[in-house]
């Protein structure tokens, strides 16, 4: 079980304050689990974790095996949760530099359709040059501008390289089961398809084929991921503050009510950076509405202590931190000796890097708490495929409960459409003419 430590937040609220929220948290949890609140038509993610392989998961594993066998590169086309979830999983498990040295049998994985940058597109073209590649097009509608542009271009590239028949065996569509432009396109062209259930929103879709296919292509055991999430589904169905979901959701809302409007999620693992990006979308889109919401930002320590550390330590006191920790890996790194000791590090001779990292963590917590920044610590334990599934499900549950505590619908995002409307007017899209 993931452990949540709130011993470093008591300067902002008291134990009686926390206990006084019990009925409120109970109600939010019940609202989520019984589907009695706003957005209850998007609760399918609660039922996604399974213990035994389904037909969909079997097909995902077969598709991943085919991609690994015939491709040097696998391109994931999507935006928001359609790429943040799989990228978060792969980089957390394998590191930000996981693509180095990969190829046929263990493809490099790149992402497209998440920006409108010409430089980004040209970079992808250079990376694909001379490579055999396959593509997953991920979209419920198939008409979202950024991935739709990338889909059109990559489809054309595949058909030119392999012919129409050859290309269709390298294209996988992950979309709505019955409707939308991508579903129609896949049906007409004969592409293999996987389903995003209609009752699962994009930011909660990582445990569907959206996340599972790229994970499987990367060599992650997706049944271990699902079983970890399945165990979490049982473990965190506890109606008391013994449940770390309750502790995290209640604490962040109490801190918000005391004026802490920014949450900084940090980890001392470089590979956690994209998980922080996934978390930002999950909480930002779920809570930021009706003039409310805790602004979510993420940081990588210790690197960002040398850029954001001054602001965290002595800037405006309107933020709190959530620090995610993992157990050290089995393979150790030891600080060596140097008889000249010009760098002054001989006092660490023989120490493991994990030991140094732990002291940096403890020192950072103490400094930030002393500086008026409350710190919630999340101990995830051993990092493995099963833990990955548990972490995704844990934070999704926390988000649902927290948003209901905040008094907002966790599953809509009405504000997202405003920039699109303005962009479509400027582009001259039919139906969006200026009036």
139 with 176: CB under 8 angstroms?
no
Distance of alpha carbon 15 from alpha carbon 17, whole angstroms = 5
Token pair for 242: 């013994």
Beta-strand runs (E) in 23-182? 73-77, 108-112, 133-138, 171-175
pLDDT of residue 271: 96
Q: How far is CA 100 from the centre of its chain?
A: 22
The 10 Å Cβ neighbour count of residue 407 is 12
- 139 touches 78 (CB < 8 A): yes
Joined together, the tokens standing for residue 201 give 């929103």
d(CA 407, CA 419): 25
CA nearest neighbour of 173 among 218, 213, 207, 146 = 213
Closest CA to 201 of 80, 292, 28, 295: 80
DSSP sequence for 381-414: -S-SHHHHHHHHHHHHHHHHHHHHHHTS-TT--G
State how beta strands 3-8 and 375-379 pair: antiparallel
Question: 230 in helix, strand or coil?
Answer: helix
Residues of the chain with pLDDT under 70: 435
> Which residue reads 């809302």 in tokens?
253
Question: Within 10 A of 10 (CB to CB), how many other CB atoms are there?
Answer: 13
Cα–Cα distance measured from residue 64 to residue 215, given in angstroms and rounded to the nearest whole number: 9
Tens of pLDDT, residues 5-31? 999 999 999 999 999 999 999 999 999
Residue 432, class by beta-carbon neighbours within 10 Å (0-12 exposed, 13-18 middle, 19+ buried)?
middle
Which tokens sit at 324? 């995610």
| DSSP symbol at 190 | T
What are the backbone angles phi and psi of residue 102, rounded to the nearest 5°?
-85, 160
Q: In 113-170, where do the E strands start and end?
A: 133-138
Which residues are catalytically annotated? 285, 306, 420
Q: How far apart are CA 267 and CA 270, in angstroms?
A: 8
For residue 207, what are its two tokens?
A: 């445990």
Distance CA 396, CA 400 (A): 6
CA distance 150 to 50: 33
Closest CA to 398 of 205, 249, 241: 249
pLDDT confidence of residue 426: 80
Distance CA 70, CA 85 (A): 24
Q: Give the max Cα distance, the chain.
A: 77
Q: How many CB atoms lie within 10 A of CB 199?
A: 16
Return the pLDDT at 22. 97
CA–CA separation, 387 and 423 (whole Å) = 40
> pTM of the full predicted structure?
0.96
């Amino acid at each position: 079980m993931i452990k949540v430590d709130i011993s470093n937040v008591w300067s902002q609220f008291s134990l009686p304050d926390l206990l006084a929220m019990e009925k409120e948290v109970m109600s939010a949890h019940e609202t989520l689990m019984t589907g009695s609140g706003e957005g209850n038509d998007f609760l399918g993610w609660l039922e996604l974790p399974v213990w035994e392989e389904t037909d969909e998961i079997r097909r995902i594993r077969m598709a991943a095996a085919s991609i690994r066998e015939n491709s040097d590169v696998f391109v994931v086309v999507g935006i928001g949760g359609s790429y943040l979830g799989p990228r978060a999983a792969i980089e957390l498990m394998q590191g930000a530099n996981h693509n180095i040295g990969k190829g046929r049998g263990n493809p490099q994985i790149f992402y497209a359709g998440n920006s409108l940058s010409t430089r980004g597109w040209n970079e992808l073209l250079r990376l694909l040059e001379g490579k055999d590649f396959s593509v997953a097009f991920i979209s419920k509608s198939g008409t979202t501008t950024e991935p739709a542009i990338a889909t059109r271009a990559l489809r054309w590239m595949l058909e030119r390289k392999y012919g129409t028949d050859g290309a269709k065996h390298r294209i996988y569509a992950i979309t709505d089961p019955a409707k939308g432009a991508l579903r129609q396109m896949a049906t007409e062209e004969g592409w293999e398809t996987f389903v995003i259930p209609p009752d699962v929103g994009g930011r909660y879709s990582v445990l569907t084929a959206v996340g599972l296919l790229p994970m499987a292509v990367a060599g992650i055991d997706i049944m271990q991921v699902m079983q970890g999430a399945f165990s979490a589904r049982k473990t965190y169905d506890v109606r008391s503050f013994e449940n770390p979901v309750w502790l995290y959701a209640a604490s962040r809302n109490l801190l918000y009510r005391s004026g802490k409007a920014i949450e900084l999620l940090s980890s001392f693992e470089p590979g956690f950076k994209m998980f922080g990006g996934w978390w930002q979308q999950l909480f930002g889109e779920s809570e930021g509405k009706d003039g409310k919401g805790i602004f979510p930002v993420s940081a990588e320590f210790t690197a960002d202590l040398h850029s954001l550390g001054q602001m965290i330590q002595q800037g405006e006191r309107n933020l709190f931190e959530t620090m995610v920790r993992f157990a050290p890996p089995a393979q150790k790194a030891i600080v060596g000796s140097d008889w000249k000791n010009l760098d002054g590090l001989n006092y660490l001779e023989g120490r493991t890097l994990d030991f140094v990292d732990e002291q940096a963590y403890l020192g950072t917590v103490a400094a930030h708490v002393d500086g008026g920044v409350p710190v919630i610590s999340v101990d995830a334990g051993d990092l493995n495929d099963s833990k990955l599934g548990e972490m995704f499900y844990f934070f999704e549950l926390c988000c649902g409960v927290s948003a209901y505590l905040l008094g907002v619908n966790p599953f809509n995002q009405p504000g997202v459409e405003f920039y699109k409307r303005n962009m479509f007017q400027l582009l001259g899209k039919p139906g969006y003419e200026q009036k």
